[in-house]
Structure 1
Amino acid sequence: MNPKLTSICDICITRNLNPEDYANDAVATFAQSLLYTFVGAKKQDQSGFIVKNKKDRKKYEAFLQDYDGNEIARQQIKRSDLNLAVIKSEDGKLNYVPNQGVTFEQNLKEMDLEINFQLNEVDFIDRERIRAKYKYRCQYCGRRGRSVDHKDPVSLSHNNSLDNLTLACAECNRIKSDMPYKLFIQLNDQISEINKKLVKYEDALGTLREEFEHRRRYLAAQVHLKGVINDPELNAIRKQNKSLQDAIDSLQSDYDDLRQTRKTYFDTGWRLARIKENKDII
């Protein structure tokens, strides 16, 4: 029997939606290349999205990727239970949307999903020792970092020895997740120039934000001394501050684009590695 690929995900199938009502060009192309049957509509209908906000869709996507890449989570939370929690969130029955600015553990908690991460039992002294050893610098990208990371994922190795610990920034720690250390290093070594750019972006943004904060305090002091709000000199300072803020926003946007591209690179590399190991991918 010819394998089938559907246009919708398992969450939508849990909702009892019909794949033939939805299009998915990427899956259709993938099915065609593998000579599989594609079940779905031919024309994409943007109004068919359950989550209308594109940014929110990205948040759910990142949350599901965090789950797929976390062995501890997959061991303790059934995919069916995860799907039901996501559906409750999408439908507004749970007043929370996954947030990429917090940890995966915090997102799970807010989604009413219980998990025990206590396999990671590195005490405070050892964590500070690792931070001091690496001078608060991520050993993967070179940016500032405080996250003590297990080289071999603790969910698989249960190894909390100092030899298995290194320092990472929160972003690299989240991207690596349960990816094998050898594979992550292999992928990371191929983008050393991108990592150097990330460090430059971080340093430049830090310097600009420090300057902006200095100017903001100077403006507040001048307003206090002059006793007025509208003044040619003060307005000139405000104009300079606005230009500086625009420069910061533009640089931050470029920085975020590069970070997202890097994350996609690692996600794709990890996904391809797992597909290569799994002969039966359907």
Structure 2
Amino acid sequence: MKFQCSACGLRINSRHFKQEGLVNPQLTSICDLCIQRGEQPADFANVAVNIFAQGLLYTFIGLSDDNVQSAPFFVTKKENRKRYEAFIQDYDGNDLAQQQLPRPDFNQAVIDSEKGSLEFVPSMELTFAENLQKLGLKVDFKLNEVDYIDRERIRAKYHYRCQYCGRRGRSVDHKDPVSLSHNNDFDNLILSCQECNRIKSNMPYELFVQLNDQIPKINQKLVKYENALATLKGEFDQKRRELAATMHLKGVVNDPELNQMRKQNKKLQDAIDSLESDYKDLRSLREQHFMTGWKLMLENKKEDII
């Protein structure tokens, strides 16, 4: 959920408007960046936040008069507001950045940019890391420092087989995500296929294994799909080479034998396309299984809807 700040005009995650209260949480009319800049929530009205606070029995800090004349937003240009919103959203969703860069320091850089103290406005054409650097903020996104020899040792140890799904793999994965643990020790490393590595991402190892253990037959089918496709594609490549060689020997492009070979290759290609489509559907279904389990765990951890 997002609210629009009545001071700067940014539409950002509702967490930026929430504070701890003596009994119930408090919601403010302006965001935490504007409060850090020195603005007072009590000087601003915010109808949406006020109504939301009432519905949750939270305390609202701000003017309750809907007819109060609002001042121009601190960030006057709509284009700049979009840039700041995207930049703040990048930070809110990046655990690695939040570990290394305290929120007050991040907020202050945004505030200095808004005020013009820093002559740079985050750009949606740049990566998050590049925007951070332009604002003088430092985050190390390269915590994966496993050297080549250790990677090869892991691959040899597990015989180039993904330890999650059983397919062929070369990706050295951190059981406990390196972005959270910073642990590059050998016992924290395992081999996975590129797909499992991508799906797991920052998911806790225990949860990923738990979800993976629920679908053993799906993983077995993935291995069969991979093996079948490898066999069919190998046969297709061989047939294609045979066709090219026969054309070269005959010195012609079309004759009954060549056309028959093309028909056989076309049937083989159709079989490959059909199998790849089924394989893709199963992989997509499996990924949804993991993503749903991950989202449910994160939702269960939340104490509130904000």
Amino acid at match of 2:303: K
Distance in 2 separating the partners of 1:195 and 1:278: 31
Aligned counterpart, 1:178 = 202
Distance in 2 separating the partners of 1:111 and 1:195: 39
Would you say 1:161 and 2:161 are equivalent positions?
no
Would you say 1:241 and 2:241 are equivalent positions?
no
- Say which one has the larger Rg: 2
Would you say 1:269 and 2:296 are equivalent positions?
no
Would you say 1:117 and 2:134 are equivalent positions?
no
On the 8 A contact 1:141/1:199 being kept in 2, the answer is yes
On the 8 A contact 1:69/1:177 being kept in 2, the answer is no
Aligned counterpart, 2:244 = 220
Aligned counterpart, 1:100 = none
Aligned counterpart, 1:200 = 224
Over 3 Å counting, the alpha-carbon distance change for 1:193 and 1:74 in structure 2 is farther
Aligned counterpart, 1:137 = 161
Would you say 1:191 and 2:215 are equivalent positions?
yes
TM superposition score normalised by structure 1: 0.64
Q: How far is 1:72 from its partner?
A: 2.7
Written as runs of structure 1 = structure 2, the 5 A alignment for 1:86-125 is 116-125=140-149
SS in structure 2 of the partner of residue 155 of structure 1: helix
Over 3 Å counting, the alpha-carbon distance change for 1:172 and 1:68 in structure 2 is farther
On the 8 A contact 2:165/2:223 being kept in 1, the answer is yes
Distance in 1 separating the partners of 2:146 and 2:130: 26
Amino acid at match of 2:297: A
Distance in 2 separating the partners of 1:209 and 1:190: 31
SS in structure 1 of the partner of residue 304 of structure 2: coil
- The gaps in structure 1 that reach 5 residues or longer are 6-12, 15-34, 37-65, 89-93, 95-107
Distance in 2 separating the partners of 1:68 and 1:245: 46
RMSD: 3.4
Q: How far is 1:151 from its partner?
A: 0.4
Cα-to-partner distance string for 1:36-85 (whole Å, 9 max, x where unaligned): 9xxxxxxxxxxxxxxxxxxxxxxxxxxxxx9998633666898x9xx963
Distance in 2 separating the partners of 1:186 and 1:173: 16
Distance in 1 separating the partners of 2:131 and 2:268: 42
TM superposition score normalised by structure 2: 0.59
Aligned counterpart, 1:279 = 303
Would you say 1:151 and 2:175 are equivalent positions?
yes
Aligned counterpart, 1:260 = 284
On the 8 A contact 1:69/1:178 being kept in 2, the answer is no
On the 8 A contact 2:123/2:131 being kept in 1, the answer is no
